[in-house]
Amino acid sequence: MRPETINERRGEYACDLLLALDEDVRPPSITTDGARSILQRLSEAAEIDIDHPKHDYLAPHGGRRGMGEVLV
């Protein structure tokens, strides 16, 4: 789907995920290390302060839980 088409159709759906599902858009697979790298960059860019003994970024486990809440 072209970006212009996505922008035009967004208003038809409650969230982008539903548009993607309807159009059978499938993101590429990602490894756990790849997810960590992305979350580290996003946490830093958003200036999120994580108080955790093992890491200073939002970890994949937290992302899975957050996505589960959105889907449920």
pLDDT, average across residues 14-40 = 87
**Eight-class DSSP state of 10:** G
The pLDDT value recorded for residue 14 is 92
Assess whether 39 and 66 both reside in one domain.
Answer: yes
Q: Coil, strand or helix: which one is 47?
A: coil
Q: Please give the distance of CA 51 from its chain centroid, rounded to a whole number.
A: 21
Q: Which domain holds residue 18?
A: 1-29
Assess whether 64 and 44 both reside in one domain.
Answer: yes
Q: What is the pTM of this model?
A: 0.50
pLDDT at 69 over 80: no
pLDDT at 12 over 90: yes
The pLDDT value recorded for residue 68 is 65
The pLDDT value recorded for residue 29 is 86
Assess whether 69 and 36 both reside in one domain.
Answer: yes
Q: Phi and psi (nearest 5°) for 55?
A: -155, 160
Q: How confident is the model at residue 30 (pLDDT cuts 50, 70, 90)?
A: confident
